[in-house]
Amino acid sequence: MAKISFLQAPTFKVDVEMPRLGSTPVKVSVTYHHLNRDQLAELADSDIAYTREMKDLTQSEEASVADVTGKAKEHQLVQLKRVVAGWGFAEELNDENLQALVDHSAETAVAILSAFRTSYEKAREGNLKA
């Protein structure tokens, strides 16, 4: 029997269905950074903090839709920079294009981040079946 390592590759690829307005979704290959347990905990902690901030913001009488949108874009950008190592879009993966994606395609950012989380959930489910 061949020996395998318990260590994960530093990156992994997932074909993500990207929503397209007025069209059918298109699959795009996204390469993600593998995160260890501590890094995943940090990512989850940032999600929890974001949820609390959004709750406070949306309960504020002074908050505007622009404020909420700005906070959401800021959070998505940080998360995408942390987990995305490469992608199959025509545009190069860089800070400018990540910002453009967050600014112009909220549903695409959500799809990319959801696929990352789903990958870890599926791996965990596979371990539970053993």
Quote the number of domains for the chain. 1
Q: Is residue 129 part of a domain?
A: no
Q: What mean pLDDT comes out for the span 56-74?
A: 94
Q: Is residue 126 part of a domain?
A: no
CA separation for the pair 5, 50 (Å, rounded): 35
- pLDDT tens sequence across 15-59: 999 999 899 999 999 999 999 999 999 999 999 999 999 999 999
Residues spanned by the domain of 66: 11-121
Q: Is residue 130 part of a domain?
A: no
Q: Is residue 3 part of a domain?
A: no
Per the listing, tokens 């992994």 go with 12
Q: Is residue 4 part of a domain?
A: no
CA separation for the pair 83, 44 (Å, rounded): 12
Cα angle at 13 between 84 and 109, to 5 degrees?
Answer: 40
Model pTM score = 0.87
**How many CA within 13 A on the CB side of residue 109?**
21
Q: Is residue 29 part of a domain?
A: yes
Q: What mean pLDDT comes out for the span 104-118?
A: 95
Q: Is residue 81 part of a domain?
A: yes
**Distances from the Cα of 56 to the Cαs of 6, 59, 76, in angstroms?**
42, 5, 18
Q: Is residue 1 part of a domain?
A: no
- pLDDT tens sequence across 71-94: 999 999 999 999 999 999 999 999
CB burial of residue 75 (10 Å; 0-12, 13-18, 19+): buried
Is beta strand 26-33 parallel, antiparallel or unpaired with respect to 11-18?
antiparallel
